[in-house]
Amino acid sequence: MTTGLVLLVIVAGAYLAAHSASEWLATRFLIVSGAEYLLLGVLLGPEVSGVIQASTVDGFAPFLTLAFGWVGALVGAQFHFRDLVRIPGEHFRIAWTESALVLGIATGITAALGVWWLGITWREMAVPAVAVGAITVSSAPTGIAVVSRRLSARGFLVRQLQITPAIDALVAIVAFGLVLAVAHEPPGTALRPPTPTEWAVITLAIGVASGVLFHLFVAGERKVDRLFVALSGALILSSGAAAYLRLSPLLPALLMGFVLVNTSPARDELREVLSRVERPLYFVLLIFAGAALRVEWSGWLLVASAFVLMRILVKVGSAAAAGRVHLALPALGIRWGWGLVGHGGLAVAIALNYRLFDSGELAGLVFAAAILSVLVTDVLSGWVVRGLVVSAPEPAAKTLAQEKK
């Protein structure tokens, strides 16, 4: 049998098994995650069974690049201004504060550890530190989505838990995209290598130009099938351009999704198109992220565990601080940050993007830590959110009644 066929059979079989199991677990035990696919990738990868070889992961790099772009566009498509202005500003203030605190603290801690413990210069630590910061910031929205659907829960806390992961995603992608641009190495072919500022502008320009051009390209088009062809082309093009320039495809795609959803009359159709292949691409992303895991240093588990612990502390602490600063703790509760501890697909996308960008040992360690964090936290996120919502200081029903008044 060819490797491709073996791979296909195993992946397809395992996917179906994992899919059936995860559905059962989600229905019965509120365990919602993509962690099972990640684990599947680890088991199939070179570190365990070797079914997926390193060369196979490299061969799938274009698909992974496309998956990054798709994830970015999905995040960008959440920010529709007309919908956002209906949400009280207090939620955004809390979310922005939480995100900024987490990014700053996690980046600072990582940079300081790198400099003082590993003896790396501040300049060299910039990219790994911001990558860790971005990974730390991102939160999985799946737990809250399932719990709010299952309990029909609404209220201040639930809404806050719905908004914060979106802001977290925005902050994470922008921070990661910009640091890759600023720290860009000069290409060998250009007459004058662009400056860091110019690389940042190029990153933003790819996203904005793609969004504007694609808006003009499909103006008036409402048929989902036609939009699917054109949007696929545009996302492949912009993601390919970013990857070709060794920039993150996440940020340009986020900007493209943002521009489109705010300018196109067919925003619902565009969202439908984006969600059509979200699952298959997400599935590929998680499996190959798991397979890309390399253990090059024996102490990795210790460091990765420390990262998981640090992330939980920073998340919960920053959320509590944000709630206190904006006087929202009576409604949210001091523990509301636990609802943001679940780590999902975006973290995997950022970590894998960073791993493909940098093949060094430190990048491998950051990637391994992110994988462990997703495996540990994503599985229990549904339970944690449920516990928070049930014991919320301001019960969902009461909040709903107040909102109606």
Distance CA 264, CA 237 (A): 19
Q: How far apart are CA 387 and CA 394, in angstroms?
A: 14
Beta-carbon contacts of 210 under 8 Å, excluding residues fewer than 6 positions away, are: 234, 237, 238, 252, 255, 256, 259
Quick one: which of 47, 84, 151, 194 contacts another protein (CB under 8 A)?
Answer: 194
26 binds another protein (CB under 8 A): no
Out of 179, 243, 274, 287, the residue judged to bind another protein by CB under 8 A: 243
Using the minimum distance from each CB to another protein, give the nearer residue, 189 or 298: 189
- Is 58 or 296 the residue whose CB approaches another protein more closely? 58
Please name the amino acid found at residue 270: L
Which of 288, 343, 304, 285 is CA-nearest to residue 169? 343
Q: Which is nearer to another protein, 1 or 85 (CB)?
A: 1
Tokens 């709630």 -> residue: 323
Question: Which CB sits closer to another protein, 241 or 369?
Answer: 241
Number of H helices, E strands in the chain: 19, 0
Q: How far is CA 103 from the centre of its chain?
A: 14
Q: Name which of 263 and 305 has its Cβ closer to another protein.
A: 263
Which two tokens mark 47? 């570190």
d(CA 362, CA 14): 31
Contact 79, 264 (CB under 8 A): no
Number of residues located near another protein, criterion CB under 8 A: 51
Q: Which stretch binds another protein (CB under 8 A): 61-69, 136-144, 327-335, 391-399?
A: 61-69
Residues between 297 and 356 that touch another protein (CB under 8 A): 356
Please, what is the minimum distance in Å from the beta carbon of residue 382 to another protein? 21
Of 11-19, 175-183, 260-268, 291-299, the window that binds another protein (rule: CB under 8 A) is 11-19
CB closer to another protein out of 300 and 367 = 367
Per CB under 8 A, 264 contacts another protein: no
- Alpha helices (runs of H) in 183-299, residue ranges in sequence order: 196-217, 224-244, 250-263, 267-276, 278-291
Q: Which residue, 229 or 306, is less far from another protein as judged by CB?
A: 229
Binding site residues, another protein, CB under 8 A: 1-2, 4-5, 8-9, 12, 16, 19-20, 58, 61-62, 65-66, 187-190, 194, 202, 209, 213, 216-217, 219, 225-226, 228-230, 232-241, 243-246, 276-277, 279-280, 283, 356
